[in-house]
């Protein structure tokens, strides 16, 4: 039987934030959710999350499943106190209890599995993950003899000699729950921070083992925003490396970010300052950027997206977008279409080979094949309370600066006169023109100057 406990009750004072520490995000996911995701892979019988500071916010942030339960620790008197509270609330202390700090977010399921295997092979009372760090600052120092741990001393309680020990505690422990429950209430708070330390269980238990792993960034704990950014870099480096080895050219990796979920085809070129976020899929031969932001969007083959922003949309093959286009959620842009300079499109379907090249707003609209939307066209979709639909047929030509007052329907092969304000539907093959006629007053300047 495997029970997991994740410590997430602390405030995270060193983050200097109104957000609880474990709710800060790395590549789109909270620290806590990352730890939970790794634990889910172990298929434990239960995951108990210890919450306290802003507990409702923390609980609400978690993707729930039936194995996940919350335990409240109030006030928070230290990591050992958190497990004391947990022990009191759980009746049966059977099998193994895997304890993880909620602020060590890059821990991999594989490493946890290895820890558990190691723990079983040693028949230990407790085994914990340790690593040798070049800069051990802030971590508890682990003192061992033949892999058995004698004691852990927190940085603040270390003397000069102890501080020079580079073997650190990662904050991830596998306990025999039976052994732990015998001593958990004997922990004291006679240390600099006057806290009850979970690390003191090591000395109280007989068979305490160090499971040392190489420090590759996976065990980095996050106490402040410098460490947060270091972990972000660790994740991003891995993601970008994976894509580059898979056939994606990233011209300037340090200025680009990619979500873990993103799928990117081969021969895609990502130029500087470009970001592919959320559940996006970019297919083969696309050119993204410079300066593009694409979130939760599917982009098919051979598209070009320069200096543009796209949210939650679908872009078919051979589409060109930008520079300076903003595609807002729920758009579908069909093959060979072109969206150009300073164009905003929202909740609209554009059929094949549609052109919206300059300075337009197209919202809640359907545009048929081969239609050209002239510069400065606006679909006026909002009357102050409700949004309305605009439909434009195929092969149409919307004159520059046309305002289409929705709801309005234009048929196929309709032309609108430049500068028209279109308020009525228009049949196939017609010219819709709605503007005052030009009046030429002869000798206007001459007459004026005479007066």
Position 102 contacts ligand UD1 (CB under 6 A):
yes
What token pair was written down for 23?
A: 């709710």
Q: What is the C-alpha separation between 109 and 37, in angstroms, rounded?
A: 8
Which is nearer to Ca ion, 191 or 301 (by Cβ)? 191
Backbone angles phi, psi at 156, to 5 degrees: -65, -25
Place of tokens 């337009």: 360
Position 374 contacts ligand UD1 (CB under 6 A):
no
Position 221 contacts ligand UD1 (CB under 6 A):
yes
- Residues 313 and 332: beta-carbon distance below 8 Å: yes
Q: Where are the alpha helices (DSSP H) in 406-450?
A: 444-450
Q: What angle do CA 247, 249, 252 make, to 5 degrees?
A: 150
- Residues 333 and 319: beta-carbon distance below 8 Å: yes
CB of 136 to ligand UD1, least distance (A): 9
Output the CA–CA distances (angstroms, integers) from residue 139 to 114, 142, 322, in the order listed: 22, 9, 49
Cis amide bond preceding 106, omega within 30:
no
Position 140 contacts ligand UD1 (CB under 6 A):
yes
Question: In 3-state terms, what secondary structure has residue 437?
Answer: coil
Position 223 contacts ligand UD1 (CB under 6 A):
yes
Position 173 contacts ligand UD1 (CB under 6 A):
no
Using DSSP bridges, classify how beta strands 25-26 and 29-30 pair: parallel, antiparallel or unpaired: antiparallel
Which is nearer to Ca ion, 133 or 281 (by Cβ)? 133
Q: What is the DSSP letter of 428?
A: T
CB of 237 to ligand UD1, least distance (A): 21
Position 352 contacts Ca ion (CB under 5 A):
no
CB of 359 to ligand UD1, least distance (A): 51
The site partner of 265 among ligand UD1, Ca ion, none (C-beta below 5 to 8 Å per kind) is none
CB of 45 to ligand UD1, least distance (A): 21
Place of tokens 């056939």: 247
Q: What is the C-alpha separation between 265 and 293, in angstroms, rounded?
A: 17
Q: What is the C-alpha separation between 442 and 91, in angstroms, rounded?
A: 99
> Any residues with CB less than 8 A from the CB of 161 and at least 6 apart, and which?
none
Q: x-or-dash pattern for ligand UD1, window 45-64, by CB under 6 A?
A: -----x--------------
Tell me the site size for ligand UD1, rule CB under 6 A. 30
CB of 138 to ligand UD1, least distance (A): 6
Which is nearer to ligand UD1, 168 or 390 (by Cβ)? 168
Position 377 contacts ligand UD1 (CB under 6 A):
no
Residue 358 a catalytic site member:
yes
By C-alpha distance, which of 316, 251, 254, 261 is closest to 289?
251
Position 154 contacts Ca ion (CB under 5 A):
no
Residues 319-338 interacting with ligand UD1 (rule: CB under 6 A) = none
Task: Give the count of alpha carbons within 13 A of 366, CB side only.
Answer: 11
Q: What is the DSSP letter of 294?
A: E
What token pair was written down for 318?
A: 């051979």
Query: Can you give the three-state secondary structure of 159-208, one letter per residue?
Result: CHHHHCCCEEEEEEEEEEHHHHHHHHHHCCCCCCCCCCCHHHHHHHCCCE
CB of 60 to ligand UD1, least distance (A): 17
* Residue of 118, 139, 361, 370 that binds ligand UD1 (CB under 6 A): 139
Residue nearest to ligand UD1 (CB): 140
What token pair was written down for 240?
A: 């970008």
Q: What is the C-alpha separation between 80 and 62, in angstroms, rounded?
A: 23
24, 69, 81, 358: which one is catalytic?
A: 358
Position 98 contacts ligand UD1 (CB under 6 A):
no
Position 221 contacts Ca ion (CB under 5 A):
yes
CB of 196 to ligand UD1, least distance (A): 8
* Residue of 33, 34, 118, 171 that binds ligand UD1 (CB under 6 A): 171
What token pair was written down for 19?
A: 């957000």
Q: x-or-dash pattern for Ca ion, window 92-121, by CB under 5 A?
A: -----------x------------------
* Residue of 15, 33, 34, 103 that binds ligand UD1 (CB under 6 A): 103
Which is nearer to ligand UD1, 168 or 426 (by Cβ)? 168
In 430-440, which positions are buried (b, 16+ CB within 10 angstroms) versus exposed (e)?
A: eebbbeeeeee
The site partner of 307 among ligand UD1, Ca ion, none (C-beta below 5 to 8 Å per kind) is none
The site partner of 236 among Ca ion, ligand UD1, none (C-beta below 5 to 8 Å per kind) is none
Position 262 contacts ligand UD1 (CB under 6 A):
no
Residues of the shown chain interacting with ligand UD1 in the complex, contacts defined by CB under 6 A: 7-10, 22, 50, 73, 76-79, 81-82, 101-104, 139-140, 152, 154, 168-171, 197-199, 221, 223
Residues of the shown chain interacting with Ca ion in the complex, contacts defined by CB under 5 A: 103, 221, 223
Residues taking part in catalysis: 358
């Amino acid at each position: 039987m495997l029970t997991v406990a994740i410590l997430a009750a602390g405030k995270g004072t060193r983050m200097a934030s109104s957000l609880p520490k474990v709710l800060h995000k790395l590549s789109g996911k909270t620290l806590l959710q990352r730890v939970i995701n790794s634990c889910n892979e172990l298929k434990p019988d239960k995951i108990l999350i210890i919450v306290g500071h802003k507990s409702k916010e923390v609980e609400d942030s978690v993707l729930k499943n039936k194995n996940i339960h919350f335990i409240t620790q109030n006030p928070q008197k230290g990591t050992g106190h958190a497990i004391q509270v947990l022990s009191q609330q759980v009746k049966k202390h059977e099998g193994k209890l895997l304890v993880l700090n909620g602020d060590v977010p890059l821990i991999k399921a594989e490493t946890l599995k290895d820890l558990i295997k190691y723990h079983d092979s040693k028949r230990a009372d407790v085994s914990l993950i340790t690593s040798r760090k070049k800069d051990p600052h802030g971590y508890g120092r682990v003192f061992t003899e033949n892999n058995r741990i004698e004691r852990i001393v927190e940085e603040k309680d270390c003397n000069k000699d102890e501080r020079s020990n580079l073997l650190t505690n990662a904050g991830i422990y596998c306990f025999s729950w039976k052994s732990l429950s015998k001593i958990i209430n004997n922990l004291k708070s006679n240390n600099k921070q006057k806290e009850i330390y979970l690390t003191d269980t090591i000395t109280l238990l007989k068979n305490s083992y160090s499971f040392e792993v190489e420090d590759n960034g996976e065990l980095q704990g996050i106490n402040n925003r410098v460490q947060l950014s270091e972990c972000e870099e660790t994740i991003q480096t891995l993601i970008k490396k994976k894509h580059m080895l898979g056939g994606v050219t990233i011209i300037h990796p340090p200025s680009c970010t990619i979500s873990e979920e993103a799928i990117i085809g081969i021969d895609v070129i990502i130029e500087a300052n470009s970001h592919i976020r959320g559940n996006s899929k970019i297919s083969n031969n696309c050119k993204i950027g410079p300066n593009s932001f694409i979130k939760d969007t599917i982009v098919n083959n051979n598209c070009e997206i320069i200096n543009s922003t796209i949210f939650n949309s679908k872009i078919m093959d051979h589409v060109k977008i930008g520079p300076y286009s903003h595609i807002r959620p729920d758009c579908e842009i069909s093959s060979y279409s072109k969206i150009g300079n300073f164009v905003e499109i929202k909740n609209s379907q554009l059929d094949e080979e549609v052109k919206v090249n300059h300075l337009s707003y197209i919202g809640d609209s359907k545009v048929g094949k081969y239609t050209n939307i002239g510069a400065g066209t606006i679909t006026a979709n909002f009357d102050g309370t409700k949004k309305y639909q605009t439909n434009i047929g195929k092969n149409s030509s919307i004159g520059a600066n046309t305002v289409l007052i929705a709801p309005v329907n234009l048929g196929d092969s309709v032309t609108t006169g430049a500068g028209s304000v279109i308020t009525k539907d228009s049949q196939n093959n017609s010219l819709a023109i709605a503007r005052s006629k030009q009046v030429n007053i002869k000798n206007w300047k001459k007459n004026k100057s005479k007066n």
